[in-house]
């Protein structure tokens, strides 16, 4: 679907979400029901919600843009890599946890009779959400702060108290263990959801929840890759070099 076309206003709300689940966030933001009430046209939905159709069209166009990054993370300084991880991946997690908790809870309640596994998916994600919130806080206030202090003590004073662990390897080992735990939780979610394959009777919220879970897992893989394979090894190497 080309969102820039003039006649797009006559397409149904549910069509937008079916074609690109990212548009669900736009409809939620503007108070438009994309699930049970999604059969009406975008024009009618905007009129009912008192929303300017041009404003929502701009939001929809922005939502479906592809973010294609060609950054060479291996050449990026560690402090800038940390800022990237915080501003892209930590921000993504923080913004999407509440939405996914809401959606997974809703479909577990509505579809439990036909799909009881949704309750397990919701509980797994709820536990994962709490762990990720604590995990990111520890990274940002302790480990990341220490690494940035190693990069430039004058620019980043303090160091987050990570030195009390003896070596940066110790908190890194803890973070990597928590990464493994998050990966295992998503492995179970993927298995329970049959690789995010929603059934024929799935409503739009069900579909969006599964597509968002898959997107979340994909972002988490990229997030963990940047830390485990680039940031952490280079931080260990830097600490060793500075101690010589």
199: number of Cβ within 10 Å = 12
232-243 and 169-192 are packed helices; what angle lies between their axes, rounded to 10 degrees? 170
244 falls in which pLDDT band (50, 70, 90)? confident
Check residue 21 and give its pLDDT: 72
Average pLDDT over residues 57-78: 77
pTM over 0.85: no
- State pLDDT tens for residues 98-146: 999 999 999 999 999 999 999 999 999 999 999 999 999 999 999 999 9
6-63: CATH class: mainly alpha
pLDDT surpasses 50 at 68: no
pLDDT digits (tens, 9 = 90+) for 166-222: 789 999 999 999 999 999 999 999 999 999 999 999 999 999 999 999 999 989 998
More confident residue, 72 or 240: 240
Burial class (CB in 10 A: 0-12, 13-18, 19+), 165: middle
Q: What is the dihedral of CA 50, 53, 54, 56, to 10 degrees?
A: 80
Cα separation of 209 and 226, whole Å? 26
Instruction: Please indicate whether residue 38 or residue 238 has the higher confidence score (pLDDT).
Output: 238
- Winning range, highest mean pLDDT, from 10-14, 63-67, 130-134, 154-158: 130-134
pLDDT of residue 163: 56
Could you give the C-alpha distances from 59 to 30, 52, 168, in angstroms and in order? 10, 11, 43
Q: What is the pLDDT of residues 7-56, one digit of tens each?
A: 788 888 888 887 777 788 888 888 888 876 678 999 999 999 999 999 99
CA distances from 244 to 79, 146, 154, 237, 238 (A): 21, 18, 20, 11, 10
- Domain assignments of the chain as residue spans, ordered by start: 6-63, 77-243
User: Average pLDDT of 141-160?
Assistant: 86
């Amino acid at each position: 679907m080309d969102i820039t076309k003039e006649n797009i206003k006559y397409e149904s709300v549910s069509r937008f979400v079916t074609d690109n689940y990212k548009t669900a966030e736009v409809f939620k933001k503007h108070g438009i029901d994309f699930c049970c009430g999604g059969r009406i046209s975008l024009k009618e939905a905007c009129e009912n919600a008192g929303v300017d159709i041009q404003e929502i069209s701009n939001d929809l166009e922005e939502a479906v843009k592809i973010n294609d990054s060609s950054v060479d993370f291996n050449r990026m300084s560690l402090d800038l890599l940390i800022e990237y991880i915080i501003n892209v991946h930590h921000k993504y997690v923080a913004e999407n946890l509440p939405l996914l908790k809401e959606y997974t809870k809703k479909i577990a309640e509505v579809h439990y009779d036909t799909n009881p596994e949704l309750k397990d998916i919701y509980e797994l994600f709820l536990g994962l959400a709490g762990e990720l919130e604590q995990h990111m806080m520890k990274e940002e206030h302790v480990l990341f702060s220490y690494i940035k202090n190693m990069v430039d003590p004058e620019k980043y004073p303090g160091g987050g108290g990570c030195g009390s662990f003896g070596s940066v390897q110790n908190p890194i080992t803890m973070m990597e263990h928590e990464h493994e735990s998050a990966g295992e939780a998503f492995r179970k979610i993927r298995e329970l959801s049959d690789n995010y394959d929603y059934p024929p009777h799935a409503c739009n919220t069900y579909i969006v929840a599964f597509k968002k879970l898959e997107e979340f897992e994909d972002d988490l893989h990229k997030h963990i890759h940047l830390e485990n394979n680039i940031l952490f090894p280079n931080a260990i190497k830097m600490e060793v070099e500075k101690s010589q």
